[in-house]
Amino acid sequence: MAEATNEAGRRLWDMETETVFDEPPPREAPMDASGAVTELYRGHALGLMRLALVMIGDRGTAEDVVQDAFAGLYRRWPRLRDRENALTYVRSAVLNGSRTALRRRRRPFRAVHQPPVWSAESEAMVGEDRREVVEALHRLPARQREALVLRYFCDLSEEEIADAMRVSRGTVKSTTSRALASLGRILEGEK
C-alpha cells in the first residue's frame, strides 16, 4: 500500500521538476500598479507559495497568505518607495503572514486545519527521513526557521535574507549558524 502511494507521490513531483525560484525580474518594470503586480505574480507566485507551504504546511493557508501578500503590495503600490524591491516586500509579507497563520493556530477553538503536507497522515508522501527533518525544523524558534528556509530553500544571499527578515547581515549569519547547530542536535537526539 505504501508502495502505491509513494509511486503516486513521485509522479506528482516529476510533473514539476525544476524549482522556479528567483526568475529574472521583468525587463522594464511597468509603472501602473495592476500591470506590475500581475507581472510579479506571474513570475514569483509559485516560489512564494512554496515558501509559505514550507513554513505553514497546509496548501490552502499557504495560498491565502500569498494572495494576501500580493493584495497588500497592490494597495501599497502608489506609496511604495523603491519599486525595484517589490519582490523583497512581498517576500517579507509572506514570511509575516506565515508567522501570523502559525500563531493563530495555537489559540484554542480555531477552525480545524489540514495536517501539514509532511505529516504521516497527509496524502503528499514526503518520506520518513524528510519528515523528521522538517518536523525538527518546526521545533526551532520562528526566526531561526525563517533564516534556514530562506538560505537553504530559497537560496537567497545573506544580503537578501537580511532584507526579507529586516535584520542586519550579522544577525543573519549568527541566526543561521545557531539554527543549523540546534537542528543538528535535534536530529542527533532522535537517533
Q: How far is the CB of 159 from other proteins (least distance, A)?
A: 20
Judged by CB, which is closer to other proteins: 99, or 131? Answer: 131
Judged by CB, which is closer to other proteins: 130, or 169? Answer: 130
Of 58, 57, 133, 51, the closest CA to residue 96 belongs to 51
Total of residues contacting other proteins (CB under 8 A): 52
The cell for 105 is: 493556530
Residues 38-67 that bind other proteins (CB under 8 A): 38, 41, 45-46, 49-51, 53-54, 59-64, 67
Out of 87, 117, 164, 165, which residue is the one contacting other proteins (CB under 8 A)?
Answer: 117
Q: Does 89 bind other proteins (CB under 8 A)?
A: no
CB 63 within 8 A of CB 49: yes
Q: How far is the CB of 157 from other proteins (least distance, A)?
A: 16
Q: Does 2 bind other proteins (CB under 8 A)?
A: no
DSSP sequence for 21-44: -SPPPPSS--SSHHHHHHHHHHHH
The cell for 96 is: 509575516
Judged by CB, which is closer to other proteins: 87, or 126? Answer: 126
DSSP assignment letter at 190: H
CB 41 within 8 A of CB 74: no
Residue positions counted in the chain: 191
| End-to-end Cα spacing for the chain | 26
Q: Does 19 bind other proteins (CB under 8 A)?
A: yes
Out of 6, 35, 100, 152, which residue is the one contacting other proteins (CB under 8 A)?
Answer: 152
Exposure string (b/e) for 42-62, b if CB count within 10 Å is 16 or more? ebbbbbbbbbbbbbbbbbebb
In the complex, the residues that contact other proteins under the rule CB under 8 A are 9, 12-13, 15-17, 19-20, 34, 37-38, 41, 45-46, 49-51, 53-54, 59-64, 67-68, 70-71, 74-75, 111, 114, 117-118, 124, 126-127, 129-131, 133-134, 137, 148-149, 152-153, 180, 183-184, 187
